[in-house]
Every structure is written in C-alpha cells, then in structure tokens.
Amino acid sequence: MRRSGFKIRILIGLVIVAFAFFKKCNNKTLNEYTNRVQNINMTTDQEIAIGLQSEPEMTRQHGGLYPDQKLQDYVDNVGNKLIVNTMAKDSPYRYEFHLLADPNTINAFALPGGQIFITYALYSKLQNEDQLAGVLGHEIGHVLGRHSAERIAEHEFWKTISTGASVGADAGGIVSGIGQNVLLGNGRDDELESDKLGVLFMINSGYNPQEMIGVMQILKAAAGPNRTPEFQSTHPDPDNRIEKIQEAIDEYSAQ
C-alpha cells in the first residue's frame, strides 16, 4: 500500500513538472528589440499596468520625489533625449523618469512598462550629463529587454518545479536552491544586456559611451571592498561590467 502511494506521489510530481515545462514552452516570445527568445507570460499592456500601479509605492519607499523641479526637468530631458533618438521611441511603453529624494541608497531601477527611477544619492555622485544618460539608458534597456516580466515568469516556473519535486520526492528544497542560483545568473545576464543597450542608446543620442565606465567606477567605489561576491549577487562584479561595456563600445563604434 505504501509503495502504491509512493508511486502516485511520483506520478503527481511528474505531472506538475511536465505542466511547468509545457507552460514555459507556450510562453516563448521573441523580443524584437533584443532578438532574444524569452519566457514571458504577460502582455506589454499588463507590464505597463504593473509599473503604473507600483510607482506610487516605490516612490514612497524612497522618501518621495526630490523637491527640486529643475533637477527633475533635467532628468526628464536627458531621458526623453534617449527615447526619441533610439528604438525606444517605437516601443509601446510609457516612459516616465522619477528623481527620488532618497539621500542614502545609491541606486537606479526600472519597473515593467517604463517607470524609471534614480535616487538623489546616485544622482549627486554623477559627474556629468553623459553619466546620467548612461544610468537612464541602462534602465531603458531593462524595460525594452522585458527583464522584470521575464523574471516573474521564470520565478513562477521554478516555483512550480519545486512544488512538483516536493510532492514527488521531497526534493523541493534542493530544486528551489537550484532555481535560485539560475535566477541569480539570469539577473546578471539582464544587467549585462542592459549595459550593452545603454551603450548603444548613448551613442545614438550623441553621448560619450566611455562615461558608462565612469558610472561603474562610482558604483564600485560605493560598494566598497566588502561587496557581495558575484555568484551571490543579481549584479555582475563592476570590473566584469566595465570589461563588457568596453567591448560594446568597441563593437558599436566600429559600425
């Protein structure tokens, strides 16, 4: 009787795993901006809606908007210059740029659908407009790369796989750990893809792409000597990013 129950558990687990792979195969989408096939389970309209719904809370978490309209207008002007001079202008996304008041968190990020943020803590360390363009171009790259939507779909995939492994063989923890490592690796790939797109957008908009390397040096200095090892982080090591950025500069400058 116990053997029969064990077989049923394995069968159910296999069905759950098979369902996850079937769903993933059906969600395959070719990204026209990166020419990369992705696992995406939402439309661009849904991405835009998620971003718009999440924007107020993200702004609140970082102390609201920075209270200087001239600086906000400056960020808007640089961001919009990147949009109108690149393939981003032909995308369906609704781009809005937000300068956050947070004086401590050195960061910039993008929500699905075009909501882009930079904290004053990072903004205040930038040395010129080209570096600001590098930061915003990188975040536009995340939007066009549909990275948030892809990570959501991949998270759901590994969650289902883990459930199947737990039901079938009490191995959910092992599979979950494997999935976490895969997602970390995918996150680092997203950053490198956005860096490369950011370089392209800077060149197309008349900015000096070498200043993207300056941004990486600022981030490296901010992280300090005790930064998280690359294999444990969603971001590549700054030195590795600098190397890849230089490769992208050389590639696009030669065209």
DSSP reduced 3-state for 27: coil
Q: Kindly report, residue by residue over 112-132, the tens digit of the pLDDT.
A: 899 999 999 999 999 999 999
Q: 254 pLDDT band (50/70/90 cuts)?
A: confident
The Cβ of residue 118 has, within 10 Å, a number of other Cβ atoms equal to: 26
Scan for tokens 């959501």, then name that residue: 152
Structure tokens at 180: 């976490």
Mean pLDDT of the chain: 81
Q: Which helix (H) or strand (E) holds 29?
A: strand 28-31
Q: Does the pLDDT value for residue 7 go beyond 70?
A: no
Least confident of 29-38, 96-105, 175-184: 175-184
CA distance 220 to 222: 5
Q: Is the pLDDT of residue 178 over 50?
A: no
- CA–CA separation, 30 vs 39, rounded Å? 9
Output phi, psi for 96, to 5 deg: -140, 135
Number of structural domains found in the chain: 1
State pLDDT tens for residues 80-100: 999 999 999 999 999 999 999
- Which of 221 and 67 is assigned the larger pLDDT? 67
What range defines the domain where residue 185 resides? Answer: 3-253
Rounded distance between C-alpha atoms, residue 56 and residue 39, angstroms: 28
Comparing CA positions, the residue from 131, 146, 62 lying closest to residue 98 is 62
Share of the chain above pLDDT 90, in %: 53
* pTM listed for this prediction: 0.78
Report DSSP state, residue 89: G
**Which two structure tokens, joined as six digits, stand for 49?**
């809606």
User: For residue 177, what pLDDT is reported?
Assistant: 46
Residues 6 or more apart in contact with residue 239 via CB below 8 angstroms: 220
- Examine the pLDDT at 211 and tell me if it is beyond 60: yes
Q: Please give the structure tokens belonging to residue 38.
A: 């992705």
How far is CA 44 from each of CA 47, 115, 229, rounded to the nearest angstrom? 5, 13, 34
Structure tokens at 235: 């971001």
pLDDT in tens, 180-193: 544 344 468 889 99
What pLDDT, in 10s, does the model give residues 163-175? 555 544 444 443 4
Q: Work out the number of other CB atoms within 10 angstroms of the CB of residue 85.
A: 16
Residue 228 confidence (pLDDT): 53
Give the pLDDT band (50/70/90) at residue 4. low
